Amino acid sequence: MNRKLKQFTEVLNSQSYLHKRSLFGLFLAILLIDRIVALVNFGFVYTDIDQTVLWNGLLDYSQGIFPEPFFYGQPYNYMLESLVAVPLYWMNIPVYIAMPMTTSCIVLLPFIILAFLFFKTKNPFWAFLTLALPVLLPVEFNFLTSLSRGFVQAFLFLPLLYIPLFYPQKKGSVTLLYITSALCFIANQSSALFIAPVFLFVFSYHYKSLLFYIKALLVLPILFLDYLAKEFYTSHSERIVHPHANVGFSLDTFWESLKTYDHFENLFPFFSSWGIVYPLLFILLAVIGYRKSLIKEALFSAVAFLMLMVTFAIPKVQERHDEADIFFTPSRLFIVLPILLIISLFIIFKKSKNAYRLTLPLLALTVVFMILKNNHLDRKIDHILDGNIFPSVKNETLVTRALHLNKIALKNDVDLIVHANMNGYEYILDSYAFNPIVYHSRKGEKKIISVNLYGDRRTWLYSSSLPSRQILLSGFKIDSNLLKPFDHEIISDEEIVIKNNNLSTQELFSRFNLEFKI
């Protein structure tokens, strides 16, 4: 037994390229299995109210419709995840599968590309460690990064920054630095945590070059396009349902943040509460780098630390709702930290000669932790959902309700569905989820407008809902005396079809002593 174990260890420690490539494939497979387990048990099973907004973005984008440049109803946060998921939706993959699948692919992309880069530059252990790192993170990280909410869309461009980072003097690196930094930043401002250390690292090589400063002009076209997108809401202020607030700096917020110890939860290996170690690690790495005369490398870690300190002073970033767990944790804005850490470690310790001999312990640790963290997953999911105040629901429930409403709508040739959102979040979720879910099943049937009585983020739909002749009311209990003047059919206690309507929707609901908000 000991002899076989020794032989296996020797194989793992072999310098054979074939063995290294096999190990790379093994670590990659473990990473993908770990992610698939999370998707099957959580990502494909549950959704929340913000994710259903991106579902609508996917439906619209798949039809070439772009009602607004950003996350519907707010002047910030593009919906790039919805755009990337379009090919999957075209292949008839359900929206509640296509979106978390896309988000998971995006979040793993920088890890996998970085691992390939390490492997190709003959740093196999660092490649294995990079692939293992997401697996070694708490299971809550998997759940958080399967939520399609715009947290990770900067990861689409982030791997391009590896080129100027690892090849700062290569021709074209400065050009790529500026263009990619601009793309990452407009995709998600939290990417500044990664942009700043990379930028100053490359700057340390080129600060004497006039061309370096001239090339800063390359960001202007990208920032101008972002400016035009924001100007859309200046011209259409009625479209703003959720303004961009609390994004300045506050000393009070900074001091309050220093008193809190649960920063960066779920983002550090093994233990959810160990995220607070990140600032200490970056300071430690900066000191080690400085003592080893790796000044540029020390600067990278020092800037990472300083950027974290800056976020302590931004109220929007520190906004938290403990009762919402992963659905509204500040950690959603710091998902880049594990990548930042692995790079900081590499540039300081890359010359370590014995790192590869840690491959076997790393592999064993990765496999064991993957098994442990995914054990009793149903209990862990229940713990997250119990007491959660953020509007979330099982996809199965949304599908059942959407197909039920679709059946009624088709039978009665309905033009418009109005949901009673004053009676609970389930009706708001129904409103958002209806068309993205039933779109593939309608097979050329007319698109039915699905809105909420009191309005929602899709403000443009409300003007379109005025001339509807056949209206399905979902979630309403209306006095029979108020219904008498209208041609109608009561489907159930909470479902009514108004037929041959010739009033505006606003006027119709006023007859029911309700206000339809436009």
SS3 97: helix
Asked if pLDDT for residue 263 goes beyond 70, the answer is yes
Q: What are the extents of the domains in the chain?
A: 246-352, 393-512
Residue 384: closest CA among 329, 316, 320:
329
Asked if pLDDT for residue 245 goes beyond 70, the answer is no
Tell me the C-alpha distance between 74 and 233, whole Å.
8
Tell me the C-alpha distance between 230 and 243, whole Å.
12
Phi-psi region of 394 (alpha: psi -120 to 50; beta: other; left: phi over 0): beta
Look at the block and give the residue holding tokens 């002593």: 513
Asked if pLDDT for residue 361 goes beyond 70, the answer is yes
Half-sphere exposure of 231 (CA within 13 A, CB side): 6
Mean pLDDT of the chain, nearest integer: 90
SS3 418: strand
Tell me the C-alpha distance between 16 and 356, whole Å.
12
Q: Which of 101-115, 218-232, 458-472 has the lowest mean pLDDT?
A: 458-472
Angle of helix 295-311 versus helix 277-291 axis, rounded to 10: 160
347-358 residue pLDDT tens: 999 887 777 888
Burial 122-131 (b: 16+ CB within 10 A, else e): ebbbbbbbbb
513 DSSP assignment: T
Asked if pLDDT for residue 302 goes beyond 60, the answer is yes
Q: How far is CA 246 from CA 46, 78, 152, 264, 315, in A?
A: 29, 19, 21, 20, 5
174-206 residue pLDDT tens: 999 999 999 999 999 999 999 999 999 999 999
Asked if pLDDT for residue 339 goes beyond 90, the answer is yes
